Amino acid sequence: MWNINGFKARSVSIQRLAEVKEDIEKLKRQGLPDKHLAEVYLQFDYDVTASLPGVQSLLIIAIPQPMTRATFSWRNKVYTGDIPPTYIGKTDDARVKDTLTTIIGPDFKLVRVSLPVKTLAVKSGLAQYGKNNITYVPGFGSYHRLVAFATDRSWQEDSWSESKMMKICETCNKCRENCPTHCIPTDRFLLHVENCLTWHNEREDDLVSWIKPEWHHMLIGCMRCQLVCPVNRDQLNRIVPGVAFSEEETARLLQKSPWDTLSDETRRKLTEIAMDDSYEVLARNLEVLIKAQDLR
C-alpha cells in the first residue's frame, strides 16, 4: 500500500477488471439489488481502453475525508446540517491526480475512470468491507472517498485477493442495531438498499410514509451505521465547520427558490458543501432535518 501526501493507494493490473465486471454482473443476474437500484448504483464504464489506449494498470485511491457541518439560521434558532465524508472533495481529486502524475512520470498518461471502486479497493487490499457494506481503510475508517485512475504504466504490485469483511464484524452488530430502516440483513451480505435512508433522501421522489422524521440526522445521506462502528472510534471528531446560511438564505432554500434566482453568495455556499449537485432535494431534506432536530 502506498502512503502519498496523506492518501493511500494500491495498483492492480488492468487484467483484473474482467473479474470485477463479472462480480457486478453476477449481482445483477441475481436481482441484487433490483433493476431500478442497479441502474442507479451499478452503472460503470468498463471500456477503459476507449479513454486510454494501451492502459496497463488501475490505481485505486483512498482520500481521507471528514464530515462537514453547515449551519442554517431559521426562526431564531440555528440548525446543523451535516454532510457525510463521501460528498465533498472535488478539489482533493485534482490534488490527487497532480500527485499521481508526478509519480508515474512524464512518459505515461493518467485518466480518471468510473469503475466499482469499492470492489477494487477491497480486492486490491486497500480496504475491507464492514457488515454495513461500507469500505474501511486502515487509519481512515470509513471517513474517506475512493477514486480510480487508469494509467498506461505497469506496476509490479498486485495484491489481488477475495473480498474480505473486517474480522471485528464477526462478533459485532452495532451497525445493524443502529440502522432505523433495518437495511442490514442477517441472511446475506448485500444491503437491502431499497430500505436505506441514503437511497431515499438522495432521490427527488417524495419520502415514503414509513420513514420517521426523527431518523434524519444528515443534510443528505446517513451515517447511523458508521457513527457507532468501533473502527471509527478515532474518526468521530473529524467534523470541519462548513458554511453558515442566514435566516433569509434559509427561507429561500425552504421555499425551493429556483437556482438561478439565488444570490451568488448563496450559490457559492451550496457549491462549497456539494449541494449544488443535489439542489433538487435540498429543500425537502432541510425541512425534515429541522423537524427532526426540533423533535430531539
**What pLDDT does 71 receive?**
98
Percentage of the chain with pLDDT > 90?
82
Measuring CA to CA, which residue among 24, 53, 63, 84 is closest to residue 217?
Answer: 84
Per-residue pLDDT band for 32 (boundaries 50, 70, 90) equals: confident
Q: How far apart are CA 179 and CA 181, in angstroms?
A: 6
In single-letter form, the type of residue at position 119 comes to: T
Task: Tally Cβ neighbours within 10 Å of residue 33.
Answer: 21
pLDDT tens digits for range 162-189: 898 999 999 999 999 999 999 999 988 8
User: Which range, 23-27, 35-39, 264-268, has the best average confidence (pLDDT)?
Assistant: 264-268
Give this prediction's pTM: 0.93
Contact 229, 169 (CB under 8 A): no
Phi-psi category of 116—alpha, beta or left, where left has phi over 0 and alpha has psi -120 to 50? beta
Q: How far apart are CA 204 and CA 31, in angstroms?
A: 24
- Give 107's contacts (C-beta < 8 A, 6+ positions apart): none
Q: Is residue 90 scored above 80 in pLDDT?
A: no
Measuring CA to CA, which residue among 226, 222, 201 is closest to residue 131?
Answer: 226
Per-residue pLDDT band for 195 (boundaries 50, 70, 90) equals: very high
**Location of C-alpha cell 489481488:** 160
| Cross-strand pairs, 232 | none
Residue 35 host element (H or E): helix 35-41
Q: Where are the domains of the chain?
A: 2-295
Q: What is the DSSP string of 156-207?
A: S--------B-GGGGG--HHHHH-TT--S-SS-SS--GGG-HHHHHTSSSPP
| Cross-strand pairs, 70 | 81
Give Cα separations from 182 to 33, 136, 173, 185, 208 (angstroms).
16, 21, 12, 7, 15
Q: Is residue 149 scored above 90 in pLDDT?
A: yes
